Amino acid sequence: MTEAVLREDAIIQESAIKEANQAFNKQVTNQVARITGELNRLEQLLSAGMVDRRVLSEFRYAVDRARQTGWQVQTWLDGDGRALATVITEERIRCITRMVNQLASELEVENTPFAGLDALEEAMKKLDGVLRKA
């Protein structure tokens, strides 16, 4: 292949990548706008106070996670020098710590055999092994 053909291929590939990134950006932006509208409508419904307490707690946790991740991505886009993956992993650690503490409290109170506890215990052992190496 000639150098001109290779340059043309590189330009076409770069253009395709740019186009795909723009399409993905538009999709994410549209989804954020749609969800924002849904959250505003949901706020009106929640004001009636007719929702299960546990469901509301899980909802608040999910919204908080999304808010925190959005804030971290925005901070990264604004020039945070750390890699985005590092910032998000640190947030996941914070969220999981909170979730584990909440789960421990609930399991102490419930005293019920829940499905999945064996798998949870195995996952915790695996995490413990990784944390010991860190």
Q: For the whole model, what pTM was predicted?
A: 0.53
Q: What is the pLDDT of residues 12-47, one digit of tens each?
A: 888 888 888 889 889 988 998 998 899 888 888 888
Q: List the chain domain ranges.
A: 1-50, 60-134
Q: Give the whole-angstrom CA distance, residue 33 versus residue 28.
A: 9
79: left (phi over 0), alpha (psi -120 to 50) or beta: left
Q: What is the pLDDT of residues 75-119, one digit of tens each?
A: 888 888 888 888 888 888 988 998 899 899 888 888 788 899 999
